[in-house]
Amino acid sequence: MTTTTLAAPVAAGASAGALSLDQLAINEWATVLDVLRPEAAQDRELVLRLTEIGFVPGEAVRIVATGMPGADPLAVRLGHTTFALRRHEAAFIHVTRGASHHG
């Protein structure tokens, strides 16, 4: 697993064209680049859970729906499974637009 210690979801040093998953448009495929490692202990546990369920580099993801009101949570498709993530949680997942393989 590749992780980066950053306070902001997408910070300086991020790959060109990279964005956090919460910034991705609905139904746009993306590829996971990495999952950021936050400073707060509770957020580190969250990031561990995200990687355990499959948010790892190279995986194809897309947002399939958003909740109402406020567009939170997000319904995120990863492989053949859909997860509900809060925007705060999705912000730790660093992606690049496009995916060479997706289902």
pLDDT mean across residues, the chain: 85
Q: 82-91 — which CB contacts under 8 Å span 24+ positions?
A: 83/53, 85/21, 87/22, 88/22, 89/46, 89/50, 90/20, 90/21, 90/22, 90/63, 91/9, 91/20, 91/21, 91/22
What gap in Å lies between CA 29 and CA 62, rounded to an integer? 5
**Model confidence pLDDT, tens digit, residues 39-86:** 888 889 999 999 999 999 999 999 999 998 888 999 999 988 999 999
Strand partners, 61: 30, 78
- Tell me, yes or no, if the pTM score tops 0.75: yes
